[in-house]
Chain A
C-alpha cells in the first residue's frame, strides 16, 4: 500500500517535471523558429524587389512609387545619421548619470528617485516623445532656423528634420545606456577602488583610471544596445523626421542638419498600409530586410567589441 502510494507520488512528480521541461524546450525552440521564420519570410516576400534591383537597391537614392523605381539609400542614410548623432549626443549624458548613480550616490532618497526617473524615461511610449518633440522642440528649432535663414539661404524653417529627430532620439536612448552602465559601475570591486585610494588617488583619478576601464565593456554594451533601439525607433521619428524621401543636394554641408529626410522604419510605417502595388510592397519589405541586417551586424560588432575590450577583474 505504502510503496504503491510512493510510486504514484513519484510518477506524478516525474510527469510534472517532464511537462515543465517540455514547456522550457518548447519556448526556446519557438524563439529559434521565429528567428528562422524571419530569415526565410523576409527575403521571400522581398524577392520581387531583390530580383529587380539586386544589391544596388541599397545604393540607389530614387524612391518613386509612380514609376516603380525603388532604392533605399535615402532611408539608410537617414537611419544611420540620426542614430549616430543621437548616440554621440547621448554618451556624455548617460555616462554622467551612470557615474552619479553608480559611484557618487549609490543609496539614499535622491538616488532611488533618480534611478526610477531614468527607468521611467525608458518606459514612456514613443508617441509621447513624438508629441513632446512636436509641441516643445519643433517651435524652438523653427525659431532657430528663422534666425539662421539670414546667414545660410539653404536653411528653411521646417522645424522637423535630422536635428529634431536626433535630439528626441537622444533622450529616448539615454535610459538604456545609462542604466546598464550604472549597473556595471556598481559591480566594480571595492578592493580595486580602495587600493587606488590608498595610493593617494583622488576621486576623479579613481573614476578615470579604475572605474571606467573596469566597466568599459559594460558601458559599451549599453551603448550598442541603445544604438539598436535608435535604429528601429519608428513612431517618434515619423513625427519628427520630415518624411522627405530624398537626399540634400550638397551632401557635405552643415546646413543639412536641419534638412528633412526619412528613415527605414519610418518609410515602412508610412507606406506599407496603402502599398497595393506588389513591387512597392516587396521593396518596403526589402527595406525591412536591410534594417534587420544592419541591426544584426551592429549587434554582432557590439558583442565583438565587448569581448575585445573587457578587462578581467580577477587578474
Chain B
C-alpha cells in the first residue's frame, strides 16, 4: 500500500514538473476564432519548425477568445469580429487588434443543373427578407436571362449557431438594404425572417445539397473545397464579382482606420468582392502584466510580426486571402506600438 502511494506521489511530481517545464518562455497560448484555425495551425507549425517556439491555439469561437484574453488566461486571443468600443473600455488594459487574414462569405445554392447565377444587391436582400420567394421571379429572370430558372420556391438556409460568418453576411445585408438594417440588423445571431437554420458550415452546405431550390451562405473556403455553386454578387460600384482570393484581397484595399477595426462589407473597391471581413489576433498593448517576463513579450511580438509578414505566404495555399500591403503597414505600426514596462518591445 505504502509503496503504491509513494509511486503515485512520485508520478504526480514528475507530471507536475514536466507541466511547469512546458509553460516556459518558448511557449505561447492562444484561443479564439474557429474560422482561421486551419491557417493558424499551419502557421504555428511552420513557426515551430523554424524558431522552436511552440504555440498552442484553441479554436473555441471569437466570443470565447475575447473572454479568455480579458480574463488573461491566454497570451493572445483571436476574433473575426472586432471588439466594440464598449468592450474595449471594459477591458482591464488597452487591447489592440492585429489583422492577419481576410475571409469571404459566398452565396451558394441548389438549382437543377446548377447554372452560374448572378444576384444584384436588391435581389439578394429581397430573397433573404423573404419578399422574393420564387426562383422564376421576374427580377431574377431579368438579370439571368440566359438561364432557364425553375418554378421552385426559394428555401433559405442560414446558420443556427452564433458565427462570424453570419456577422459578416448580415453586416453586408444591413448595408445594402435599409429594410434589413431596421427589421433584422447585424450580428452573430439574428432573428431570421424566413428559412431554416443549420449548425456550422457543413450543416448549411448539407442542407443546401439536399433541398432543391435552396440558397444560403458559407465561408468561401468551404464552398471552394466542396465545389459548390457560387453566385456572382453585385458590389457597390455595380460590378458583378465572383468571390475568389484575389477579389477578397482587393476588398481590403481601401482606406482602413489606424486600429484596423473596420467592417469591410460592401467595399468601395472597384473589383473587390463585397461580402468579406478581416480576422484579427488581439493582445494587450502593455505586455508586462501578471508578472510576464520580457522574453515572453518579445516572443509574442516576434510571432505577430512574422504572421503579418513572412507568415502571409501560408494564406493562399490554404485558400485564405492575405492582407494587402496597405493593411500590412498598418499592422506593422500596431505591433511596433506594443510595450514592456512602457518601453517599445520592437525597435
Taking Cβ atoms with an 8 Å cutoff, the residues of A that contact B are 62-67, 134, 138-139, 142, 146, 149, 156-161, 238-239, 242-246, 260, 262, 266, 270-271, 273-276, 280
Contacts and interface: CB of A to CB of B under 8 A. Distances in A.
Interface of B: 60-64, 66-67, 153, 155, 160-163, 184-192, 195-199, 203, 206-207, 210-213
A63 to B, nearest CB: 6
A271 B62 CA distance: 13
A274 B190 contact: no
B62 A274 contact: yes
19 contacts: A62-B191, A63-B191, A65-B191, A66-B189, A66-B191, A146-B212, A157-B212, A158-B196, A159-B207, A243-B160, A244-B192, A246-B191, A246-B192, A270-B199, A271-B162, A273-B162, A274-B61, A274-B188, A276-B66
Contacts of A246: 191-192
Among A160, A244, A270: residue with most chain B CB under 10 A? A270
A65 B195 contact: no
Contacts of B188: 65, 274
A238 B155 CA distance: 18
Given A157-B213, A243-B197, A276-B63, A270 B161 contact: yes
Nearest to A149: B153
B196 A245 contact: no
A243 B199 contact: yes
Nearest to A274: B162
Nearest to A261: B196
B161 A64 contact: no
Closest 3 CB pairs of A and B: A274-B162, A243-B197, A243-B160
A271 B162 CA distance: 5
Contact of B63 (A67, A238, A273): A273
Contacts of A245: 191-192, 197
A231 to B, nearest CB: 19
B190 A66 contact: yes
A156 B155 contact: yes
B196 A160 contact: yes
Contact of A65 (B187, B210, B212): B187
B219 to A, nearest CB: 15
A273 B190 contact: no
Contact of A239 (B67, B162, B203): B203
Contact of B153 (A142, A156, A239, A280): A156
A273 B211 CA distance: 28
Contacts of B211: 142, 157-159
Interface residues of chain A: helix, strand, loop or mixed (majority): loop
Contact of A244 (B61, B186, B197, B206): B197
Contacts of B207: 159-160
A274 B62 CA distance: 7
Contact of B61 (A62, A67, A260, A273): A273
Nearest to B188: A274
Contacts of A243: 160, 196-199
A273 B197 contact: no
B63 A270 contact: no
B197 A242 contact: yes
B145 to A, nearest CB: 26
A106 B70 CA distance: 63
Nearest to A155: B153
Given A243-B197, A275-B189, 5 more contacts: A64-B191, A158-B155, A243-B160, A270-B162, A270-B197
A67 B185 contact: yes
A64 B183 CA distance: 10
A65 B197 contact: no
Contacts of A158: 155, 196, 211
A245 B189 CA distance: 11
Nearest to A161: B196
Nearest to B161: A270
Contact of B189 (A62, A138, A149, A274): A274
A243 B213 CA distance: 19
Contacts of A262: 160, 197
Given A63-B191, A276-B67, A260 B196 contact: yes
A49 to B, nearest CB: 15
B184 A66 contact: yes
Contact of A134 (B163, B185, B190, B206): B206
A66 B186 contact: yes
A238 B198 CA distance: 8
Given A66-B184, A157-B213, A239-B203, A274 B192 contact: no
B156 to A, nearest CB: 10
Given A156-B155, A273-B162, A242 B196 contact: yes
A178 to B, nearest CB: 31
A96 to B, nearest CB: 32
B26 to A, nearest CB: 31
